[in-house]
Amino acid sequence: MRDLRKNGGEYAGVKPHEVLGCLILKSDPFRNFIRQINTKYGQSLDVDRMATAIAGQAKKESQFEADILNGSFDVDKLDYVVRDGRLIGLPVAVDLHRLFTSMDVSNVDEVTGWRRLTVDLRGEITLEQIIFGKMTLFTCVYQHHKARACDCLLKSIIEYLEFNRDAGITIAGRTLTNVADFLWFTDDILAIEGQRLKKDHPILHELMHGLAYRRLPKRALVISRDLITPGNGEKYKDFLELRHNKKDHCKTMRDLARKIVEEADRCCDPAFVWVDLPKPPSLKEGEETIVRKPHDSYCKLNQLFGVDQWSEHYNQHKWVGHVFCLPEHRKVISAAARAVFEREFEIKFDPISWQLCKLD
C-alpha cells in the first residue's frame, strides 16, 4: 500500500480505502463478474474506467465522472452526511433536490477540454449546508471522546496481535495478516473470541471484551489549543504536527503512551493507555468545488464562502485530543501525561484540561 501511494506510485495521493476499491475492481474475479454482466445484458461496463473514477484519476475530458465518485460533493458525502445525522438523532438539513437541479457538466477550460461537475449559484447554499453538516458531525460524532475511545481499543487489539504474532493467536480462525481477515472483526466475534483467549492472553481478553461490551477507557486529559500554553519554537510546532497521520504516526503515539506509563511508575500495562490526537477534518471542498456563474464564468467555492476560515476556526477552537486510560488509573495517568507533554514539547495545561475529565 505504501509503494502504491508514494510519489510516483500508481495511486499517489489516493486514500487507502479508495486504492482497495480499485484493486477489488481490477481483480480477476470482479473482471469476470462484469464480463458476464456485459454478455448477459448487452452492457459495456468498463472496469478500468470505474477504477479510474474511484481513484479520482480520470482524464480531463472525463473528470466529471471522477467528480461523481471522488469529488468535493460526491455521492458518498451526500449519503453519509444525511444518513449519519439521522441515525444518531442529529438531523442535518441538506436540500438535495436544489443541488441536483443546479448541477451540470461544464467545459471549464476550452483549451484543455477539462470537463467538471459544476454547481450554479442556486445550489451554492446546499454546498454550505453539506460543509456545515460535515463539521457538525466531526464535532459531535466522529471525534466525540467515546467514539475515539473505541478506536483506541481497536488499535490496541491489533497492536497486541502484531507484537505477539509468534504466539500464533487467531481470531475466528484467522491471523489478521491479510486485509480480508478484518472482515471477520465484528462485535460478536470479539465477545466470543475474547472469552476463549481469557486464560492465555488476559490483556487481549480485556481489550476485546472492553470493545465488545463497551467497557470503554475514560479520559485522563483533554487536549485542545485553548487549554494549553504554547511552548517555544519548534517543539510546539512538532506537537501540532502530531495531529496529522503521517508516516510512523501510530508508533509515535504509542511511544508517548509508554513514556506516560513509565512516568506513572508502570501503574498498568501500556496496552491500556492511549494518546489520541485525531487528524483535523479535511475541508478541500472550498478549493476543489467549481461554481458556475452567469455567462459561463466559473469560480471556486472559496471565493463565495469562507471554507478555509471555517477550517481554521475548527483547528483553533473545536479540535480536541485526549489521553485515555482505565478508570482506576485516571489520576496518576493524568499527572504523568502532563509531565511528559511538558518535558517533550514544553507545553503546560490549564487545570480545566483535567477537570473536564471528572477525575474525582
Judge if 92 and 31 occupy the same domain: no
Decide the pairing of beta strands 290-293 and 114-120. Answer: parallel
Q: Supply the DSSP symbol for 226.
A: T
Do both 163 and 190 map to the same domain? yes
Q: Is 296 left (phi over 0), alpha (psi -120 to 50) or beta?
A: left
Q: Tell whether 272 and 350 lie within a shared domain.
A: yes
6 and 111, same structural domain? Answer: no
252 and 286 housed in the same domain: no
- pLDDT surpassing 80 at residue 355: yes
pLDDT confidence of residue 232 = 63
Give me the mean pLDDT over the 298-305 stretch: 90
Gap between the Cα atoms of 305 and 124, Å rounded = 9
What dihedral do alpha carbons 288, 63, 1, 7 form, nearest 10°? -70
Q: Are residues 80 and 197 in the same domain?
A: no
Q: Does residue 92 have a pLDDT over 90?
A: no
Q: For residue 129, what is the domain's CATH number? A: 1.10.3210.10
306-320 pLDDT, tens digit each: 888 888 888 888 899
Q: Are 238 and 292 contained in the same domain?
A: no
Q: Could you tell me what percent of the chain has a pLDDT over 70?
A: 98
Q: What is the pLDDT of residues 167-194, one digit of tens each?
A: 889 888 888 888 788 888 888 888 899 9
pTM above 0.85, yes or no: yes
Owning domain of residue 194 = 143-216
Domain count, the chain: 4
pLDDT of amino acid 329: 96
Q: CA torsion angle for 175, 177, 182, 187 (degrees, to 10)?
A: 30
Backbone angles phi, psi at 220, to 5 degrees: -110, -20
Same domain, 50 and 7: yes
One domain for residues 247 and 304: no
What is the maximal distance between C-alpha atoms in the chain?
A: 73
Residues 177 and 308 in one domain: no
User: Is 178 found in the same domain as 156?
Assistant: yes
